[in-house]
Amino acid sequence: MLRISEFSRLTRIPAKTLRYYDDIGLFCPAQVDKFTGYRYYSVNQLARLNRILALKELGLSLEQVKDMLDNNLTPEQIRGMLMLKQAELQQQIQQEQMRLLYVENKLKQIEEEGLMSDYEVVIKSVAPVHAATIRATTPDMAHIGQTLDRAFDTLMTYIGEHGKQSDKPEECGITLYLDPEMPDKDILLEAALGIEGDMKATGDINVYTLPAIEMAASVVHHGPFNTLDKAYHALFKWIEANDYEVCGPNREINLAYERGGDQNKYVTELQFPVKKKL
Amino acid sequence: MLRISEFSRLTRIPAKTLRYYDDIGLFCPAQVDKFTGYRYYSVNQLARLNRILALKELGLSLEQVKDMLDNNLTPEQIRGMLMLKQAELQQQIQQEQMRLLYVENKLKQIEEEGLMSDYEVVIKSVAPVHAATIRATTPDMAHIGQTLDRAFDTLMTYIGEHGKQSDKPEECGITLYLDPEMPDKDILLEAALGIEGDMKATGDINVYTLPAIEMAASVVHHGPFNTLDKAYHALFKWIEANDYEVCGPNREINLAYERGGDQNKYVTELQFPVKKKL
DNA sequence: TTGCTCCTCACGTCACGTGAGGTGGC
DNA sequence: TTGCTCCTCACGTCACGTGAGGTGGC
């Protein structure tokens, strides 16, 4: 019989850990002195301990290891647990590789642009928006302001007469860009305002639910619209560098906007639906 | 100003998490009602929040994120943190890939041999052993028992006269196999017994410290020596399947052995120094 | 006998999640 | 007014590590 420190030295498992395994009933000493509480281990216990260590190495929790060893599971159950673990590990590896790419790109960015950039891109999901919308075109970005003002005016008037506007800040001014950019072509866009309850559509006005976006690359721009291109640029660069690709029409969300108000107080979120390449 | 639930919906961060970030001083509401304690957030806070989320996505801890945002670190410090994280991630990925391989092989093994095998291989380190040793050769494995008995007898006698034997169970009978297997050649081996303190060498007896093994693939065999080949077989198979390679002389450790005693009570550990391929 | 080893609490870790129980706001 | 939202504890998670304070073994 070996004392805990001897068994610890033999197995290279810290004594504290052996005590812990005893506490949770995973691996108990062959014998415990009734009076002193001293734990005594036998070399025959190495079989079980090695089984535990091997299963732990697979990434299973101690709870799962205990399950596998004590509740003699069917081969099917064991296969099931291992296959689940396999899938988990594959996912984790993917995630870590993504993180690694993030870190590498952040390092590059710091070298190129110095310290932290003004635009931090995050991946988020976007909820569906029940909205009234209207489509419009504009020949170039220089006139987009007027086009949108007119579109939103029409929408507001219509909603005021036929229903109720949503008061959620993220639904109070959404612009969708429907076409991928085409030089020498009009830009097709859709203005949308969230509404509460149902409402009928008429003529130019559509009423439907903008779909949720599972994965949107999002960036927030503070300040006037005429510097929005910087935000777009940062976003494109990030998407490219981190192996995403755009997979749907992008949106602009007016989070703080007042027509004629102080443009420095504007807050606009850009959302691009994306998916991982490959 | 937005209430916590609104800000939570907008950012897709659970309210509980926002409260937690407030608690730890990482991200506090723009305003807190003195009487009700209600938290109020502003869309202008999105800049900081996104910065936090982006850095968190890199795998940094909230503590580190706070550091980077609040203690305006030098670019060099920030680069340092990111490069450290990069190295950590690379290591983690390697580890997970190893685990994945373990799981896959365990699945294969279950298919081939049914449920759990008798031999669980673990990777462990082995401490250096200060020992007296003696070399011997044997023409084939059939005569190894006698060869070793003689070698250990000689050692014991010598140690009894010139020093003191170690009482650590893992040092009471070590056999090293010095040659890679060569058919038609004698097998060269070295018997070693741990000793306490120093001791002079004479003639055939060497006194030195068996080196530590950083990574040893280890398996424990219970029962008579004539079935040890099963343990060897399991070990070789495991090493091969999991992309390790042997990188030094292997050892047999007698953990429970009594000459002429009940062979079913024998416990023997096999240790192969290994390293990862590639 | 003295120092060594072992023992049992109890608390900390990390980023929250999960109630419990209570109060303000509309 | 009623139900909804928000608040603050307090506890749990996972696999231990880190003391504190005390006792048996050689």
Instruction: Enumerate the residues of chain B whose CB falls inside 8 A of the CB of residue A43.
Output: 169, 255-256, 267
How close, in Å, is residue B140 to chain A by CA atoms?
29
Q: Which long-range contacts (CB under 8 A, 24 or more apart) does A174-181 make?
A: A174/A129, A174/A131, A174/A210, A174/A251, A174/A252, A174/A253, A174/A254, A175/A148, A175/A251, A175/A252, A175/A254, A176/A133, A176/A210, A176/A249, A176/A250, A176/A251, A177/A249, A177/A250, A177/A251, A177/A252, A178/A135, A178/A249
Residues of chain A with pLDDT under 50: none
Give the span between the Cα atoms of A135 and A178, in whole angstroms.
Answer: 9
Report the gap between the CA of A203 and the closest CA in chain B (Å). 31
CB within 7 A of strand D (chain B, 55-94): none
Tokens of B121: 């291989």
Query: Nearest to residue A172, comparing CAs of A190, A194, A156?
Result: A194
Check: CB of residue B223 under 8 Å from CB of residue B113: no
With contacts defined as CB-CB under 8 Å, which chain A residues touch B61? none
Q: Which residue has the higher pLDDT, A222 or B111?
A: A222
- Confidence grade of residue B10 (pLDDT, cut at 50, 70, 90): very high
Contacts of A169 in chain B (CB under 8 A): 2, 6, 10, 43
Report which of B60, B45, B47, B67 is spatially closest to residue A119, judged by C-alpha positions. B47
Q: Which two tokens stand for residue A218?
A: 């999002």
Chain A positions touching B168 (Cβ under 8 A) are 6, 9-10
Point out which residues pair with A274 in neighbouring strands: A246
Asked if residue B78 lies in contact with residue B68, where contact means CB atoms within 8 angstroms, the answer is yes
- The reply to whether B62 has its C-beta less than 7 Å from any atom of strand C is yes
Q: What are phi and psi of B118, to 5 degrees?
A: -75, -20
Band of pLDDT at residue B30, cut at 50, 70 and 90: very high
- Which among B93, B102, B104 has a CA at the least distance from the CA of B244? B102
Q: Which nucleotide has the shortest C1'-to-CA distance from A5?
A: C5
Q: Is B71 on the interface with A (CB under 8 A)?
A: no
Cβ <8 Å between A46 and B269: yes
3 state DSSP class of A28: coil
Kindly report which amino acid residue has its CA closest to the C1' atom of nucleotide D18: A16
- Prediction pTM value: 0.88
B3 at interface of A, judged by CB pairs closer than 8 A:
no
B105 band by pLDDT with thresholds 50, 70 and 90: very high
Mean pLDDT over residues B258-275, rounded?
Answer: 94
Cβ within 8 Å of B, A 195-224: 218-220, 222
Q: Considering only CA atoms, which of B239, B252, B182, B160 is closest in space to residue B210?
A: B252
The predicted structure's pLDDT at residue A142? 82
- Which of A55, A69, A89, A95 best probes binding to B when mutated, by most B CB atoms within 10 angstroms? A89
Q: What is the pLDDT of residue A179?
A: 80
Q: Which among A211, A271, A210 has a CA at the least distance from the CA of A246?
A: A271
| Confidence tier at B277 by pLDDT (50, 70, 90) | very high
What phi, psi does B251 have (nearest 5°)?
A: -125, 150
Q: At what angle do helices B62-70 and B75-113 cross, to 10 degrees?
A: 160
Residue A271 to residue A249: CA distance in whole angstroms: 9
Taking residues B51-64, what's their average pLDDT? 93
Q: Are A271 and A253 spatial neighbours (Cβ–Cβ below 8 Å)? A: yes
If you measure CA to CA, which chain A residue comes closest to B115? A75
Q: Which residues contact A249 (CB under 8 A, 6 or more apart)?
A: A176, A177, A178, A273
Q: Would you say residue B201 has pLDDT above 70?
A: yes
Q: What integer is the mean pLDDT of B205-224?
A: 96
Contacting B residues, span 158-197, partner chain A, CB-CB under 8 Å: 168-170
Positive or negative, the CA dihedral A68, A72, A73, A74 is: positive
pLDDT at A34: 87
Q: Decide: helix, strand or coil at residue B116.
A: coil
Check residue B179 and give its pLDDT: 80
Asked whether the beta carbons of residue A106 and residue B9 sit closer than 8 angstroms, the reply is no
Share of residues in chain B with pLDDT > 90 (%): 77
Q: Mark yes or no for CB contact B83/A107 under 8 Å.
A: yes
Which of 113-142 (A) contact B at CB < 8 A?
A: 114-116, 120-125, 127
- Amino acid identity at B84: L
User: Residue B183's pLDDT is what?
Assistant: 65
> In what helix (H) or strand (E) does residue A210 lie, and over which residues does it extend?
strand A206-210
How far from chain centre, in Å, is Cα B59?
24
Contacting residues of B for A58, CB less than 8 Å apart: 99, 102-103, 106
